[in-house]
Amino acid sequence: MIAWTIYVTFAGAILLLFLPRTSARWIALATTVAGFAISLLALSRMPIVDLATFKTIVRIPWVPMLGMEYHLAVDGISLTLALVTGLTAVSAVLFSWDVDHRQNEFFFWLLLVVGGSYGVFFSADLFLLFVFYELVIVPKYFLIAIWGSTNKEYGAMKLTLYSFFGGALVFIGIIAAYAATGSLNLYDLAQFQFSTQLQSWAFPVLFLGFAVLAGIWPLHTWAPTGHVAAPTAGSMLLAGIVMKLGAYGALRVAMNIFPQGFHMWSRYIAVFAVIGILYAAAVALRQRDLKFVIGYSSVSHMGFVLLGLATANALGVSGAVLQMFSHGVIGALLFAIAGTIYRRTHTRDLDTLSTMGLSRALPFAAFAFVIASAASMGIPGFSGFAAEITILIGTWKSYPMAVWITGAGMVLVAAFTLRALKKSFFDTAVSTNGGTTSVSSNASANALPPITIAEKWGAGLLMFATLAIGLYPRLLLDRIMPAVEAMRFLKQ
Amino acid sequence: MYIELLKLASPETVVVVTALVVLALGLANERTAGLCSGVAAAGLLFAVAAVLMLPQQATLFHGMLVITPLTSLFKIICLVLAFFTVILARADLSSRNRGEYLALVLLATIGLMLLVGSEELLMIFIGLELTGLSLYVMAGFDKTDVRSAEAGLKYFLFGSTASAFTLFGISFIYGMTGTTALAAIGQKLTTAPVQPLLFVGIVMTLIGFAFKIAAAPFHLWAPDTYQGAPVPSAAFIASGSKVASFVVLGKIVLVGFGPAQGSAAWHAMVAGWAPVLAALAALSILIGNLVALAQTNVRRLLAYSAVAHAGYTLLGLVAGGREGFSATLFYTTVYAFTLVGAFGVVALVRRETGGDDLKNFSGLSSRSPLLAGCMSIFMLSLAGLPPLAGFFGKFYLFSAALRAVDNNGLLWLVAIALFGSLISLYYYLMVLKVIFVDEKSSSTTQPLNPSTSADFLQEISLTVLAAVVLFLGVMPGTLVARIIAAVQ
Amino acid sequence: MSPFLFWIFAGLMLVFGAGVVLNRNPVASALSLVVSFLGLAALFMSLDAYFIGIIQVLVYAGAVMVLFLFIIMLLDLRAEKLRKINWLASAGGIAVAVALSVQILYVIGNFRFSQQPFPPLARSTVDDVHHVGSLLFENYNLPFQIIGVLVLVATIGVVVLSKRELR
C-alpha cells in the first residue's frame, strides 16, 4: 500500500505535463495530499511489530543479469521519513499557490523531487535507491534556476554540483560493495561480512557522499546559498526532504552495510557534527538575510542528526531519525514564513524588516514564526526538544565531552533564533526611530496583502505536526526504536 | 560457394542495390529528392528484415564474414542509425545532390556492417576504408559552406594518417603471426611468447581505432568536423561510425590480442594493450570534459563530450572479459542513439534560427516544448542521470571495470571517470539552462519557418529516439540480455 | 636479391618520396613519385612477387602518373609559392617522427629473428597471375567485391566534390 506514494506522485507529475495550466495547482495538491494520506494510513494501519524490520513490500526482478531488483521495503524509519515528506510536500504546494510563471512545469519538478524522495526512503535495492537519489538532483536545479530569487543560477548550480559530487562518492561506495558481493540487495549486503580493509575506505567514501546532502561541515556551503536562491517551496523541500535523503542514506546504506568501517570512523563523524553545530550557529548569528539565518540553522540542526548517528547506540540513532522528522517540519515552517514575508515586503534583510513592525501587519505569520522559533530552539513541548534530548542522552553514553560542547551550541541556536525573531517581527525600536521612516514603513505595512487561506492551512499543518510529536513523541519513537535496534552497527 | 556468399551477405547486398537505385533516381530528375529518401529508408528497413532472416551462426572465408547473434544485433543497430540519419537528411540539406548524399550514407552503412560482421584484419581494414571514404565526402558535402570543406579536409587528413598507422600495424602483426584471422592470431599468441615487435603492431593498430572513436590525443579532428560538417553527416560520424568501431575494436583486442592484455591495475601494471587503452581513456575523459567547459557552440560541445564518452566507453574494454565488453557495447549503443537525437534537435534549431551556438537555443522551451523536452532527455542521459539510459550505461561500465580486476585495481580509472562526469554535468546543465531558464534573446527574432511535413517527421523521430533513451534507462534489461547472450 | 640492392632501392624510395613533398614544382613532384614507385616495384620483385611488381610499374608508374601529368597540364598548375614555415610546428613534428622511428628501430633491433622463423611461403606450381586470380575469386572474393564498392564511393565523391554548383 505504502508503495503507492511513489506511483501516485509520479503519476501526478506526468499528468501535469498534459493537462492545462488552470488545473495544475489542484492536481499538485491532490497528488501530495494523496501521498500524505497514504503514509498516514500506513502509520495507523501497520502493526508496530511489522515496522521493526525492513520488511519487503514489492519485489520484482528488474535487470536479472546484473542482480538488480525493483525491491521496496518499509520499516519505522522509512515510514517516519515518508510522513515528513508527505507533510512538507502538501504545505509546499500550499505555499506556492500563487506561482503563476510556468505553473505546470513548476509543479512537475516539485512532484519529481517528492516522488524521488519517497522512492529513496522505500528502496531496498541499492541500485534502485541510487536511481531515486540521483533523480532528485536535476528537478532541484530547475526549481531554483527558474523560479528562484537572489543569485539563483549560482545557487542552483552550486547545489547541483555538490549533490552530484556526493552522488559520485556514493556511486564509488555502491559499486565497491557490489563488486565485492555481486549483490545489490540491501538486506543481503547488511548480512555480508566485508573485509576490514574494504570497510575502512569504502565507509567514509559512502558516508561522506550521503552526508554532503545532509549538510555536513565543511561541505555544507551549498545549503545556505541554495536555500536563499530557492523559491519558497524549493527551500521547504530542501530543508524538509532533500537534506533528509542524505542523512537517511548515511544511516540505511553506509552505516548499515559497513558497520566496522563505521566504528572506525564514528568519532570523527561526531567531531565534524559538533563543529557543524557550533559553526553554523555562530555564522547564523551574524547573518543579515533572514533566509541565510534559517539556512545556517538548518545546517546546525542537521549537525544534531549526524551527531545522533555517530553515537552508534539505539537511543542516539533513534533521536537522529526523530530529529530528521522534526527538522523537516520546523525547517519547512521557518522557510515558509520567510517566504510569505518576502513575497509581501520584497526584502529579507533583517535590518529593513525590523523597521516594518510586521507583527501587527501579519499577526498570523508572527504567531507561526514564534511557534517555529520555539520549536527550533528546543523548547519542551515541541518536536525539536523531544528529538534533541534523545540525541543528547544517546551522546552522553558515547561521547560525554560532545554533550558539554553541544550544550554551548544550543545557547547559540537560541541566540540567533531569538535575534531573527525579534528583528523580523517584534522590533519596537522603530517607533522611536524618527518620523519619516516609520511613517513610510507603517504605510507599506498596512498595505501588505493578508495571509491567504492556503498559507494558513500549510502553516497550520506544520505547526500541528511539530506540536503533536513534541507532546507525544512515542507515536514515532515506538516505531523508530525497534527498527534501529534491528540494525547491526549498534555498539553493545 | 557464391550462392552461400550471396545468402549470408544478403543485407549488404540489399543496401548496395538500394544505394545504386537511389543514385540512379537522384540522377534522373532534380525533383525526386523526396522519393530518394523514401527509397533509402525502405531499403534500410528491408536490410533489417534480411538480417533477421540470417542463420544464427555462420562463417565464411576463414572469418571474413561472420554471422553470430552479436554481429546481427549490431548490424541492425547500424542500419537503424542510418535510418535516422536519412530522416535527418530530409530536412537539413537542400534537395541538390540528394541522391548522391543518400547513396553515400548507404555505402558508409555497408562499411559499418562489414566492420561489425568480420573477424579478419584485412576485411576490417577494407571496412574501415569504405566507411572512412564515404564519411570524408559526407563531411565535406556542403559546398556552400567553407566550414564544411574544412571539416572534410581535416577529417580526411587525420583519417588517412590513422589508416596508414593501422595498416602498418596490421602488417607487423601479419608478419609475426602469419595470419590475419583474429581467432588464429589469438591462438598464436597463447602458444608463443609475445614479442616486443608485436606490441608495436598492436599499438599501431589501436591508433587507427583511437582516431575513429575520437579518443584523445587522436581527437583533434572531432571539434571542427562535428561543427562544420552537415548535421546528418556529423550525426552519422558520431553515432554509426563510433558504434561499429567499438564493436570491432572490442573484437580485435579481446579475440585477437586477448593473450596480450596486460593489466592496468594501479599497483600492478603489466605491459599489454590494457594499459594503453587505460591511458587513452583517462586522457580522453580529462581533456574532453575540461575543454568542453569552454565551448559556446553546441556542436563543438558535443564533439568534446564525444571525446569524453569515448573515454568512458573504453573503460569496459580495459576491464576486458565478457562483462566489460557487454558494458562497452551497451554504452556505445545508448550513446549513439542519444547523439543522433541531440544532433536532430540541433538540426531543427539551426533551421529555425540559422545557427547552432548556445545562444540560438535560448528560450527553446517556450518556442517548442517538445524539442526542449527531447533535448533535456538527451543531455541528461549523456550526463548520466537516472532514469535515462546513460545512467545505467555508466553504472554497468564502472561496476564492470571495478569487478574485473582484483582488489579494485581499476578504482583510479573509475574515480577519474566519475570526476569527469561531475565536470560534464556542469556543461550539460548549461545547455539546459539556456533552453529552459534564459529568455529568448532579441538577436534571433527571425520569423519561424512554417512547419513542413519533414519537420513533422523529424519531430516524430526525435520523440521516438527520446523514448528509446528513456525506455533503455527504465528497462535496460531488454538490451543487456540480448548483448550478454550475444557475447559468448 | 642481395641486401645491397635492397638498401639502394629502399633509399631511392625514401629520398624521392621526400622529394614529392618537398618539391615546389608539381611536375617535379609527380616525377619523383614515379621514381619512388619504381623503387617499390623493384622491392616487390626482390620478394619474388613479380606480378605485383609489374602491375606496380604498369598501373601506377605508367597509367596513373600519366593521368597526373595530364591533369597538371590541363589545370596549368604553377609552382607553389614558398610559404612561411611554422618552425615550431615542423620541429615538433620532426621530433615526434624521429622519436617514433627510433623507438620502432630499437624494438626491431632487439628482435631476434632466430627465435621465430617466418612461415615459409608456399611454393606454387602455377604461375603468379593464375594464383592471384584464383585467390581473388575464391578466398578473397568478398574483399574483392567490396573494393568495387569502395571505388564507387571514390567516384561519387570525386564527382560531387569537383562538380561546379549551378546557382
Cα(B22)–Cα(B102) distance, integer angstroms: 7
Residues B323-349: what's their mean pLDDT?
91
> How is chain A split into domains, by residue range?
4-485
Taking the CA of residue C156 and the nearest CA in chain B, the distance in Å comes to 7
CA B424 to mean position of chain CA atoms: 19
Q: Which residues of A touch B425 (CB under 8 A)?
A: 160-161, 164
Going by C-alpha positions, the residue among B101, B93, B85 that lies closest to residue B26 is B101
pLDDT attached to residue B156? 93
Question: Given an 8 Å threshold on Cβ–Cβ distance, is C150 in contact with B62?
Answer: no
Round to the nearest angstrom and report the end-to-end CA distance of chain C.
60
**What is the rounded CA–CA span in Å between residue C40 and residue C50?**
12
Closest CB to C142 among B123, B175, B178 = B123
Q: Is the peptide bond before A47 cis (omega within 30 degrees of 0)?
A: no
> Helices marked H in A96-195 — which ranges?
103-122, 126-135, 137-147, 152-181, 186-191
Residue C115 confidence (pLDDT)? 53
| pLDDT recorded at residue B126 | 93
pLDDT beneath 50, residues of chain A: 430-443
| Residue A349 β-bridge partners | A289
Which of A64, A134, A145 is facing B385, going by the closest CB pair?
A134
pLDDT tens, position by position, B398-446: 988 888 877 777 888 899 999 999 999 999 988 888 888 877 654 444 4
Per-residue pLDDT of chain C (167 residues; tens, 9 = 90+): 567 888 889 999 999 999 988 888 888 888 898 899 899 999 888 887 888 888 888 988 888 888 888 888 887 766 666 677 778 888 988 898 899 888 888 877 776 654 555 556 666 566 778 888 888 888 888 888 899 999 999 999 988 888 776 55
Tell whether B49 is within 8 A of chain A (Cβ): no
Give the span between the Cα atoms of B75 and B109, in whole angstroms: 9
| Cβ-proximal residues to A470 (8 Å cutoff; 6+ apart), any chain | A375, A380, A381, A382, A383, A384, A385, A386
Q: CB-CB: which of B380, B422, B433 is closest to A168?
A: B422
Give the one of B107, B114, B127 whose C-beta lies nearest to C153's C-beta: B107
C118/B178 touch (CB, cutoff 8 Å), yes or no:
yes
* Nearest-by-CA chain A residue for B399: A175
Chain centre to alpha carbon of residue B340: 9
Q: Mean pLDDT throughout B5-24?
A: 89
Cα separation of A218 and A240, whole Å? 21
Range B306-320 average pLDDT: 91
Nearest CA in chain B to C103: B200
Q: What is the ipTM of this complex?
A: 0.87
B–C CB contacts, 8 A cutoff, strictly below: 84
Nearest to A298 by CA among A329, A339, A321, A319: A329
The closest alpha carbon to B343, from B79, B92, B42, belongs to B92
Number of helices (H), then strands (E), in chain C: 7, 0
Vertex C123: Cα angle to C119 and C125 (nearest 5) = 160
Judging contacts by C-beta atoms under 8 Å, the chain B residues touching residue A142 are 432, 436-437
CB atoms B380 and A138 under 8 Å: yes
Gap between the Cα atoms of B458 and B347, Å rounded = 10
In this prediction, residue B447 has a pLDDT band, given cuts at 50, 70 and 90, of: very low
* CA–CA gap between residue A202 and residue A178 (Å, rounded): 11
The length of chain B is 488
Q: Read off the pTM.
A: 0.90
Q: Distance between CA B275 and CA B265 in Å, rounded?
A: 8
Distance from CA of B197 to the nearest CA of C (A): 6
Supply B462's cell numbers: 526525435
Q: Which residues in chain B have Cβ-Cβ distances shorter than 8 Å to A161? A: 422, 425-426
Instruction: Name the residue among B61, B110, B129 with its Cβ closest to that of C139.
Output: B61
* A414 at interface of B, judged by CB pairs closer than 8 A: no
Residues from chain C contacting residue B103 (CB–CB below 8 Å): 156
Distance CA B96, CA B100 (A): 9
Question: Which H/E stretch holds residue B464?
Answer: helix B453-474
